[in-house]
Amino acid sequence: MTLSNASFSNSLRSKLTLGMLVAAALVLPACTDRAGNEASRDEVNAAVDKTEAAAIAAAKKAAELAETARDKTVAFMKSPQVKQDAENAKQALDHALDKNRRDKEPAPNEPARTEPPPKP
């Protein structure tokens, strides 16, 4: 009986060893995937953090540029040159409107024109 017990014991031991190897082969990739997933998750989180920081920095810079542009626009609009240009444009418009009115409306003591006015 000793021989059969030894044989049974060796067979059982071989089967257990084989089972443990198969189990280890199945478990190790799962552990590796978890570690890979954690590393990937950490990389994604780091990328998200960098993107958030870049977005915040861009928003701050955009606000600064908008404020600078507003200040420059206000200063430009208050400049004497712009005021003079606006006055010149207003006078030119008034002159054009007055000339147009004179050409279209006859004087009270003149008959209405039937032909277009002469070109200057």
- Specify the pTM: 0.41
* Angle value at C-alpha 87, between 119 and 105, nearest 5 degrees: 35
Tokens 């039937």: give the residue. 114
- Give the pair of three-digit tokens for residue 79: 């400049």
Tell me how crowded residue 3 is: count the other CB atoms within 10 A of its CB.
7
Rounded-to-integer distance, Cα 102 and Cα 96, Å? 10
Tens place of pLDDT for every residue, the chain, 120 residues? 444 555 556 677 777 777 777 777 766 666 655 666 777 888 899 999 999 999 999 999 999 999 999 999 999 888 899 889 989 999 998 888 877 676 665 556 665 556 666 666
Contact 114, 100 (CB under 8 A): no
Q: Write down the domain spans for the chain.
A: 2-104
